[in-house]
Amino acid sequence: MRVPLFLLIISAALCLNAQDQPTGGDLKDIQSKRLKLADQLEEQGDDLGALEVLEGLLKKDGNNADLIRRVVALQLRNDRVESAIPLLKKLLEIEKGQEPEYAAVGRLMIEAEQYESANSFLEETAQKFPESAEFPYLLTFSLSRSERWEEAIGQFEKTIALAKDDAELLNENFYFRYASTRERAGQIEESVPLFRKSLELIEKSESGVENFAFKATVLNYLAYMWIERGENLEEAETFALEAAELDPTSGAIADTVGWLHFQKGNYPRALAELKKAERLIEEPDPVILDHLGQTLAKLNEQEFAAEYFEKALKLDPENAEIKERLEAVKK
């Protein structure tokens, strides 16, 4: 899913076929002069000046595909993605775009974090190309990022049905995202075989540093899910320790190991691991701080526990459970 922006530009600017737009004599003469001005400004490195000229032309010649394409290329080059997207959608209509072009625009909308707009666009496009797995696949991203978990699950299922045996699409990352979406929807039992499927595919793929890190992420997610619920602690411990071995510099994984020891009642060991997590994490994390507070409270270090709960509340001020724990250690 991580498609570099320049690839999107290439897809949007080159894959769509140009169509000549007829214009009147006067308009054609004015357009020619202004296009030359835009050329000169662009050659001088004044992209914004060229863009202003071209956008002015576009107001009078809004269906000129070549002009739209040139404006879009400059907009994308100058990080004006929001302005480019409506023009790309118009270009799709003018030139009767095909599946790859629609997919490129959908991806751009997701990268621009226009999730609800992307949802609508991709749902309509999925009806236009009902045999394609690409659009339900893209919807798994935009719907998940909109936290529309149940709808996202439906699109994961459609992707599997349409993609069939497409190993490139239905890879370890796909099943990890599907599993975590099920978990976020509260479908814990349904998520477990999907996490295991992701791990199975990781084992089958070529080894490498990135694979080790991703495997650690999947192992950690599944282990923490079980630990948080006090379930399947034996396998959770195996997974958490393997994750820590694969990625010893991860604060999130150190937190999982610490929280495992907390759940097992080994509070001194939990404290050591959670302090390690605090050191490793790049930015202060309210979950880790809360875990440290709870562990210190179990060790009868009420004053230090209160300090950690207060730090956690500064980062997550609406968390009622942390507020209750803070009040309890202050009594």
Residue 231 token pair: 């379930």
Q: What is the mean pLDDT of residues 216-238?
A: 96
Q: Look up residue 160 and give its two tokens.
A: 């599997």
φ, ψ of residue 67 to 5 degrees: the values are -65, -45
Average pLDDT over residues 215-233: 96
Q: Provide the pLDDT for residue 54.
A: 81
Q: Dig out the tokens for 276 from the structure.
A: 């390690």
- Kindly state the tokens that stand for 96: 């009767």
Structural domains of the chain, with CATH: 1-112 (1.25.40.10), 284-331 (no CATH)
Closest by CA position to 274, among listed 242, 300, 283, 285:
285
Q: Give residue-wise pLDDT tens across range 252-272.
A: 999 999 999 999 999 999 999
Determine the Cα–Cα distance for residues 86 and 84; give it in Å rounded to an integer.
6
In this structure, of 12-16, 253-257, 272-276, the range with the lowest mean pLDDT score is: 12-16
Cα separation of 107 and 145, whole Å? 13
Kindly report whether the global pTM for this prediction surpasses the value 0.85.
no
Per-residue model confidence as pLDDT tens digits over 288-298: 999 999 999 99
Confidence of residue 210 (pLDDT cuts 50, 70, 90): low
CA distances for 284 relative to 73, 113, 277, 308, 313, angstroms: 40, 25, 10, 11, 11
Tokens of 192: 């477990």
| pLDDT class of 52 with cuts at 50, 70, 90 | confident
Indicate the Cα dihedral angle 63, 65, 71, 73, nearest 10°.
Answer: 150
